[in-house]
Amino acid sequence: MSYWLRELAGWALLLLGLFAFYLTYLFCAYRHILEAWPMAIIGIFLFRGGIHLLKVAIAARVCQQAQDELYPPPPAQTRKKR
């Protein structure tokens, strides 16, 4: 379940980063250059953090699936009644 939480957090950070880039565009459109560059830096960090979380979540899920295929759980042993 932690894969899903990481993936959701990654998508949330990605969307926040895109929103920060949109705000940067608006600041530049209205010629507020001093307000635009901090928002651009914040957007870069949010976007890269979201991409990183998505990569980690997908890699963890793939590793778990590979482990499950390589080492399947042993079959349940049935007990004989006396």
What average pLDDT does the chain have? 92
Least confidently predicted of 9-13, 66-70, 77-81:
77-81
Residue 39, pLDDT score: 97
Model confidence pTM above 0.75: yes
- Give every CB contact of residue 47 below 8 A, 6+ residues apart in sequence: 13, 14, 17, 18, 20, 21
User: Looking at the predicted structure, is the pLDDT value of residue 70 above 70?
Assistant: yes
Asked whether residue 79 carries a pLDDT value surpassing 80, the answer given is no
Neighbours of 47 (CB within 10 A): 18
